[in-house]
Structure 1
């Protein structure tokens, strides 16, 4: 599906009004599921794009009927134009902080409203944008509505030139609990029993070692301790297991 990154579509455009929603990775795309369902209930078809394979694998299996998934095209003018020519969205929603200049400009030129939902602007990102204030204002002024997670996020968007900003909270807290295999959950629960458990979630390289070191330091005091490491990218499972072995720990 690499061709989708060059805006060569892998699906036909649904008939009727279409909302395009984009979430870069797993967390952002899952936060959009409730909005996808709401739009479909209102009679829209929905196109969901992501930028990572892990998000594509996860969201592709969870989209309801009436929604399709594609990879986000790279932010090159020719490919953005090709993407919009094919999909012709009536509305675009982007999650958190995915502000791609050519995409923003192209949507505005075609009078397609762009909404930033679950908007996030960290102090570090704000400092980066603030070094190019004209560019920041030129882009953010083209966003029809910005729904920020917090007052601090909202203030930073306003200071950079976004004209219509509201605080709407974090969509991730509104998302429904994701489905799970009840038999598998029960099986794991029986295996764990009453052991003390701690979880290191969404780890990156280097953080696995910290988790292993913490477990090694605690195992004498808590001999039945179970540490669960959930790496940010699942393909790193083998690296995590090797890290545990290097610290003299058993892993599965």
Structure 2
């Protein structure tokens, strides 16, 4: 299900939807280069202290979608960079700290170090600041007035879908039929043979039973998300069959 978004391909086709008209997730990863600010150099002669580099911070936004994030990235270079601290000088012995770079991401996004594959942050809380890369320290007496560089590396943003209801069961158990009954306008393939559903499909309905294109279509009412999942067979956990 997970498809790694190549930076070149993303720049060429950045407006492709994350969720297609059928409600199938097409892209759930985005690679970015993260660079925190460098520290400013100290001035040993006058005991001057350089400013600290800015951090790269991500904030969970409950109103933001992964599709919207891809569209916003079109006007960037897929590079997130914080401001470096200013050097100490005779006219300003204490260098000014660099401003942090704040990037809004959809709630439910995991931030993974692309090289080590380690989880850096799980952005599961709205309006919470997650420090992804720390800025370098400004030059001071403790580091012999030599500033340090900010952290820099590639990260992968992994979209985690959290539907309210998941339809799980054996092939031909009627999961897609139930989904079609709840969301009749959605194009859902239903047939007598197994594994007609090969990718998860998401549908939305509000508290009046009306179908929505997305969870953000009706902000004044409660919306419910339903996921139709591929059929499970024995050994699906070992990637047998279509069950994942």
Q: Fold conserved (TM > 0.5)? A: no
Structure (1/2) with the larger strand percentage: 2
Higher helix fraction (1 or 2): 1
Q: Which has the higher contact order (CA 8 A, sep 6+)?
A: 2
TM-score, length-scaled by structure 1: 0.23
